[in-house]
Structure 1
Amino acid sequence: MVVNHNTVILRAAANTRPIAVILMVMISLQNAAAQERSPPSSILINVELPLTAGRNCEITCRIVGWETSPDVSWWLGDQRLMDTMEEKLVSEDGNETVSILLMTPLPADNGETLKCQAEGTDGIREKSVKLLVYYAPIVSIQLEPPVRADDIREGDNVALTCKLRSNPPSWRVKWMLQGRLLEEIHSRGPLIQSFTLRLNAINRTMAGNYSCISFNAVGDTESPPMPLTILHEPVCRWQHSVMFTVPLGKQLDLNCDGAAVPPPDSYRWIFSRSMETAPFLTPTGDLSVDNIPSIKWKGGPTWRNYQLKEDADYGTFYCSAINALGQQQRPCVFHVVPPGVPKAPSNCSVVNEKRDVFSVRCPTETDRGFRQSYQIEIYDLYTGYLLVNKTQLSPVFLLGGIEQNRQVTIRIAAVSPRGHSEWTRINIVGRS
């Protein structure tokens, strides 16, 4: 091949598309058309399909049989590719021209028409090819109607669809909540039909950032997170009552730390000095004012600087928050108790000790407003074998199933949220 001169042309970029380089090579081969078995004055495109998005590829356009070297341009759809650098090697006769396009395809290029156009003394000729571009899934999440993102309430049925575009088609979808697989969070697993996640009777524990991951032969893609906010009435952040042990002369702040969406706008506080009414040990609903001996009201989330001046200041506080959806159904419960453990039962007696069924009785005592329970244990006096272990609210125990001639030792203790008292012991020697 004889080369007369080189020409390098650098064109200013007309757009920001990442098309790497168009390399124009002008060569001359004697009888090139015959040797390559190409028809005279022909134009051919050589490309290996499918292409992969984001991966550099090389596409060539051969123009054969022109009297003079033509100008070559590349088009993608109706847009001319302008980000180019051309290098020209001009032969003596300019019989054959090869243009090499270096490009990095995008997912949007799939199905587009790529065209090589030659223009010269022989006129204008062009050749085109429809691109097949493979790419990893492009993923997003859509909340299905009629539910609105700003009005999802506990008990609603919610459907999230993993909207995706991929080539080749996606064959698998995983759902994530707060960066964890849903199966790791909900033991029964979600109901997944096709690419839709259905959350039936949704509750506040299912709020958070949802995302889906789609897989195809090229790779996997995770969608941007979709935050799911669930409106609900106030609830206490803890499931059980909280106990504060505070000596006389001190003060404390009580915070009604309720969780609610939207946030609470008011609070209801009730203080009870009496623990003798069983429903208020573990309240399950709204509090009845008529049944509480002592009541105080506060309007804010914190009962501040509560003073412990006397024994009557110990008791239980109930707090219910209120938001736009309603009032907290199960109040937060705070037991404020003095230091120490309850006193051991005293003046206990055994009744009908020589019968098959007998009883042990102790005077009922309330430890500074706290309703106590009582534990009894009965052991064989000589072997130490445990015969009875029983706990109940009443200090009157009805016992049976112990042989009359068995010598036993009985011990009784009081139990409250403050702890376990010392044991009170009674020995029964010879019940026959």
Structure 2
Amino acid sequence: MYARVSVRALARSIPSKAIKTTPAPLAYSAKAFSTSALSMDSHKKKERVKVHFPGALDSHFSQVLEIREKMEPIDTFRVMDTDGKVLDKSLEPEVTEEFATKIYKDMLTLNVMDLILYEAQRQGRISFYMTNAGEEAYIGSAAALDPEDEIFGQYREAGTLLYRGFTLDQFMNQCYSNDMDLGKGRQMPVHYGSKALHFQTISSPLATQLPQASGAAYAIKRSGKKNCVMCYFGEGAASEGDFHAALNIAATTSCPVIFFCRNNGFAISTPANEQYKGDGIASRGVGYGMHTIRVDGNDVWAVYKATQEARKIAVEQHKPVLIEAMTYRVGHHSTSDDSSAYRSKKEVEDWKRHDNPMVRMRKWLESKGWWDEARENAHKSTQRTAVLKSFAAAEKRKKPAVSEMFNDVYDKLTPNLIEQKKELEELIKKYPAHYDTSNYAKEN
């Protein structure tokens, strides 16, 4: 049984100046808990003793009761303003014309490809698609990585693959799930993957790649390689349990992983202010005891610089880093979404006009004399022709061989799979009208 102690007796046992509430007093009787004018500043002047409990060794004992609801908001790092002007000359990127224009050209190519494939889905030629409009500046993060750093993507990282050398043919073959698709037709469109480019195949379920990234980073750490893992995800994925598990694993085992959150304002149709409270996603990194950066996600050079610094910490110190890139999704979540149902078209148009990552980068290049209208039009025209050519070729190819559904489940076909494969072959042979395989490639 618990002893019953009166509030009056409890009050007598606690010094009247021992408790301070922040930001509001506790909902107890004023007679029981009296606060004083003793400030935290004067309290800090006294000798402070660190706690000895193993759960929070950096804390100090205090005779002031402090109740916190919020911490100081984390600032958002930026290099350029919305007109592409560098705000602090010491942050002017020291890059070559070739390097800078490659990033911008890839941003333009991504836009062209998005437009064509989005329309292809609307015409029923592919089953699904997701565009990158409004978030193209994340390509700056790809430019800051080593080619052998492992990447775990979510849905909107086609630009990272493009930067690494994934060809237009490979993009189109994957979206059409044809016999040249590296994934052998086993994935939805935009679920890219490339072993050669160290890009793990995208998985549909939200946030599954986060704990996998922590595990891969731990393996890299044990191998002694001077590389890290980059894991991309949206702020919606940060509401999944896998997000918390992944960050805690990475922090406690000191894994060389960068968690790159594209906070684009909407988890499908749920706006950020309805999805979570507190200081965005960045505050969670601090809560898990890891280095954290909040960056202007529409600023290519800010993203590039933030990723550079994060990679140094991950590779040299074997510590995880969380980057929250603040941006805005201009397009629909996917071809299965109509964003006009949860936001106004005016809001979207305002973002396009006033804070466009493409415009920022183009103006910066023009200020250097590295870009102009003629180059813009020439590149768009060339890439549109190239995309349409790859698109047409991919559409004409056959689907992967039927036998591919049995391959790669195990290193070698197991007896039961061999039996199932044989049974299917007999059914196809016996009922050719019901099992038309003319549009499928022959088995190698």
Same-fold call, TM cutoff 0.5:
no
> What TM bracket, shorter-length normalisation?
under 0.3
How does the TM-score come out when normalised to structure 2?
A: 0.19
Answer 1 or 2: which has greater strand percent.
Answer: 1
Structure with max Cα Rg: 1
